[in-house]
Chain A
Amino acid sequence: MTIRVLDPTNEAAPPAGQPAQRLISLRGTTIGFVSNGKEGAKEFFTHLGRMLETEHGVAKVVHRVKSNYSAPADKHIVDEMRSWHAVVTGIGD
């Protein structure tokens, strides 16, 4: 005798995000870094920011830190992102 069983997964895929438009050049741009707030992110992002300014002509680097490393970025950071040309985010465990 066969058994009919049900799929336990959500089946509905989460909404797909769309990649942001790529920059043609970094020269003269404002680049934001959003850190999760962990110790390791601080030095790494600072170093990357310096490289972008000195080697790639980035005009301005902005560093922001999330208030909770396991939650989405705070609203004021997301709002501020709109004035940046690109944003780099990641974890620094």
Chain B
Amino acid sequence: MQLNSRAYQVDDLMAAQELYHSNGWTDGLPVVPPTEGAVKACLEWAGMAPDQIIGIETVREQAVTAEKVAINAVMAGCLPMHFPVVVSAWQGMLKEEFLVHGTTSSTGGCAVLVIINGPIRREIGASGGFNALANSDRATACIGRAIRLGLINILDVRPGGIDRSTLGHPGKFSYCIAEDEEDTTWTPLGESRGIRKGVSSVTVMAAMGPRQLMNEWTHAPEEILETFAAEMRASQRHYSIYGGNQVVVIPKQLRDILQTAGWSKADIGRFLYERARIKRKEWADVGKGAVVRDRGESVYTALDAPESCLVVAAGGPAGGFGAVIAPWMGHKTKAVTVPIGACVDCGPEEKKA
């Protein structure tokens, strides 16, 4: 296997760090030096040639090759077995409806959220338990970081360069979660979005930071979900009024109540679609009256459809907490789900919201 990237000879580990930092090739944290051996190991694990094109960023006409994705994955700390997840995430991000250039260059700083489903979670040790959404385990931490490093280096998404974010959020270091499929009766997210049962998948979404909420004082499903709806309405008022995908992370304590009462993910989506909506005139309450105009009675839903609600079973076993993750600018980007597999030329199934 012949790699095509330019190589640099450095004296030691510290010299490698300085080379990468001084060239603007990092996220500010130390990186694992991407040696030829480590990069080849990733490519061989996935059965990919170095020059295999994973996709094209069409606005700047940039091809994304397997070799460059592998180099950045190694830098992020990925093991070869993590690499197929990173590749699939890139395939999703490079779908037209994801709008990768717009979402990564926008002043409305968002991060790419990666959601992992299927058997691969257990193979790579991706946990959907304690401290989900933040360094719960090595696999999700490294995979999420690989996406950001890849954006920085392959698509030039550096702060002040292509990345024009006014404010970012901590998910721009790493933003990856695995669904806790073993501890739920719900259909895994990937399967609910068209991936065949038992096939691993990754869902990517251009996402704002997670907003935690708490309701430990009821066993009524409607009341629990009303708390989630309230967070969505709040976001519509102070961030973007437009509906799109919304990720709803439901840990075990609240999940058990909903499951016992017979609520499915689809039921939750329908409920939140009905309840999470505001009238445009509410913008006047939060200082945005100038753009209400004659559309004060117009109704805006936080979800553009019930099935745009991406319910994820994850989180530690105790605590009546949950999280809502709003999309970057409503429907202007779409979450994308793709199957994870070594073969990327054989027409993978895909499902979009």
Residues of A within 8 A of B (CB): 1-12, 14-15, 39, 68-72, 93
Contacts and interface: CB of A to CB of B under 8 A. Distances in A.
The residue among A1, A39, A68 with the most chain B CB atoms within 10 A of its own CB is A68
A2 B71 contact: no
Interface residues of B, number: 45
B295 interface: no
Interface string B71-110: 1100100000000000000000000000101110111000
B50 to A, nearest CB: 10
Given A10-B154, A70-B106, A70-B329, A5 B7 contact: yes
Given A4-B36, A10-B63, 13 more contacts: A4-B8, A4-B10, A5-B16, A5-B34, A6-B8, A6-B39, A7-B5, A7-B8, A8-B75, A9-B156, A39-B291, A70-B329, A93-B107
A3 B5 contact: no
The residue among A7, A8, A9, A39 with the most chain B CB atoms within 10 A of its own CB is A8
Contacts of A68: 99, 102, 332
Contacts of A8: 5, 20, 25, 34, 68, 71-72, 75, 149, 153-154
B299 interface: no
The residue among A5, A9, A15 with the most chain B CB atoms within 10 A of its own CB is A5
A68 B102 CA distance: 9
A70 B99 contact: yes
Contacts of B59: 72
Nearest to B329: A70
A9 B5 CA distance: 9
Contacts of A14: 60-62
A68 B99 CA distance: 10
Contact of A5 (B8, B68, B329): B8
Given A14-B61, A14-B62, A70-B106, A6 B13 contact: no
A4 B60 CA distance: 30
B306 interface: no
B99 A6 contact: no
Given A2-B11, A3-B16, A70-B105, A9 B329 contact: no
Interface in B3-50: 3, 5-13, 15-16, 19-20, 25, 33-36, 39
A8 B78 CA distance: 14
A4 B20 CA distance: 13
A4 B3 contact: no
B155 interface: yes
Contacts of A10: 62-64, 68, 153-156
Contacts of B16: 3, 5
Contacts of B6: 6-7, 11
B9 A2 contact: yes
Contacts of B106: 70
Query: Closest 6 A-B residue pairs measured CB to CB?
Result: A70-B102, A8-B153, A7-B6, A6-B5, A14-B60, A8-B71
24 contacts: A2-B9, A2-B10, A3-B9, A3-B12, A3-B13, A4-B8, A4-B10, A5-B10, A5-B16, A6-B5, A6-B6, A7-B6, A7-B7, A9-B25, A10-B62, A10-B63, A10-B154, A14-B61, A39-B291, A70-B101, A70-B102, A70-B106, A71-B102, A71-B332
